[in-house]
Amino acid sequence: MAEVGATGPRLFRPLTIRGVTLKNRLVISPMCQHEARDGLAQDFHLVHYGKFVLGGAALVLTENTAVLSYSLVGIDDLGIWSDDHIPGLRRIADFAHAHGGLFGIQLAHSGRKAFCEPLWKGGDALSLETLAESGVAWRRVGPSPIAAGRLWSVPEELSREEIHAITLAFADAARRADAARADVVELHFGHGYLAASFLSPLANRRSDEYGGSRENRMRFAIETARAVRAAWPATKPLFARLSCVDGAEDSWGLEDSVVLAGALRDEGVDVIDCSSGGLTEETRVGNLARGLGFQVPFAEEIRARTGVLTQAVGIILTPGQAEEIVAGGQADLVALGREALRTPYWPLEAARALGDPDDFGLWPIQHRDWLQRRQRVLNRLRAEGALQEKERTP
């Protein structure tokens, strides 16, 4: 696939991070699909992620992929706690590489928010009775025995030894991601999962070196990033997703995230993926009102104050909006989630909307000629007045 040159839209200018070059600034955000079996990727995942690769995104990230068997968000989510998970993930990476894209794996430990229903069933925590009947070896763990909300059971408080073991599990997962030929790994430190619960003074009431001060509450995230960076090739980028504001009053806020982002940068994290919310099932902070690009200011603030690359996400709908974010220096990358589900070819349509001079030139070669031929016919019909917009399929 061709690249738009340096004079084109900033959204379509390449970005090199370490030894990896993204062909544009568009990333597919992690989205749980609840279609794995024992953590293993299925044909569904190849098609699901593959369509975004063909759609022109530079980088496609997996849903949160569990580093331990008991750390799944949902029973049927992806895992990377075993070498058995490598072939299925490698199959997707190989497809991405064969079609001009990059593949990334988001490493996650759900902590006290382990094991919920699929979103289409409500997404609520699975009850203890349901978990017992499921036969899975489940645990909910956290920094302190404080439940994530009214539907969640009280988690087990982790010992120091268990904390260290989880950090090592992240590092082992990074090695497996490399074996799966992933180009990027992202650490999920947001949305109320394990690392985020350590960060929050509401969820973390420990009195040892992992609790109390902000520095102590950041320790698990910092140690995990350090271990993963050591295990992950120096030539490959490391991302970290933060809930820049975690969604609860008197908890973790943007100023805290600026400090953490700087510390993660110093440990070798290359990109901060700026999300928000999720500490509990109730969002109680007024500044989390959802609107167009509502999380972009977080990416802009962290980028300006730390110098680290940032990724913006959250109700980014139009090519013009995405271009303005990158061209205006608010973020270096734009991540699409639900909008990409609606329109998997959004990046390629965006290139056309922003003035790609070679109409359909960025599209997969298997599609390009068909579309260019059809466009010539449509242009002729339009010139003849034989094509009315209302007659076209939306």
Q: Which of 190, 202, 203, 317 is nearest to 254 (CA)?
A: 190
Residue 357: both structure tokens together: 């001079």
Domain co-membership, 281 together with 319: yes
- pLDDT of the residue at 4: 43
Number of domains in the chain: 2
Domain that holds residue 370: 364-394
Domain co-membership, 96 together with 74: yes
**Which region, left, alpha or beta, applies to residue 32 given φ > 0 means left and ψ of -120 to 50 means alpha?**
beta
Residue 21: both structure tokens together: 């070059």
Domain co-membership, 287 together with 375: no
Q: Is residue 113 part of a domain?
A: yes
Query: Hey, what amino acid is at 344?
Result: P
- pLDDT of the residue at 285: 56
Residue 305: both structure tokens together: 């104050």
- pLDDT of the residue at 1: 31
- pLDDT of the residue at 391: 47
Q: pLDDT per residue over 125-167, tens digit each?
A: 999 999 999 888 899 999 999 999 999 999 999 999 999 999 9
Domain co-membership, 204 together with 163: yes
Domain co-membership, 368 together with 355: no
- pLDDT of the residue at 134: 87
Q: Is residue 5 part of a domain?
A: no
Domain co-membership, 376 together with 388: yes
Q: Chunked in runs of 10, what are the mean pLDDT values of the chain (394 residues)? A: 60 97 98 96 98 98 97 96 98 98 98 94 92 90 96 97 98 98 98 98 98 98 98 98 94 97 98 95 64 96 98 97 98 97 96 84 92 91 80 42
Does 193 qualify as catalytic in the annotation? yes
- pLDDT of the residue at 287: 53
61: domain CATH number is 3.20.20.70
- What are residue 154's phi and psi, to 5 degrees? -70, 125
Q: Is residue 1 part of a domain?
A: no
Q: Which of 345, 300, 291, 341 is nearest to 319 (CA)?
A: 345
Classify residue 380 by its DSSP letter: H
Beta carbons within 8 Å of 167's beta carbon, 6+ residues apart: 220, 223, 224, 227
Q: Is residue 326 part of a domain?
A: yes
Q: Is residue 2 part of a domain?
A: no
Domain co-membership, 257 together with 314: yes
Domain co-membership, 262 together with 389: no
Is the Cα torsion angle 170, 171, 176, 181 positive or negative in sign? positive
The one catalytic residue among 49, 193, 210, 345: 193
Domain co-membership, 215 together with 334: yes
- How long a stretch of residues is the chain? 394
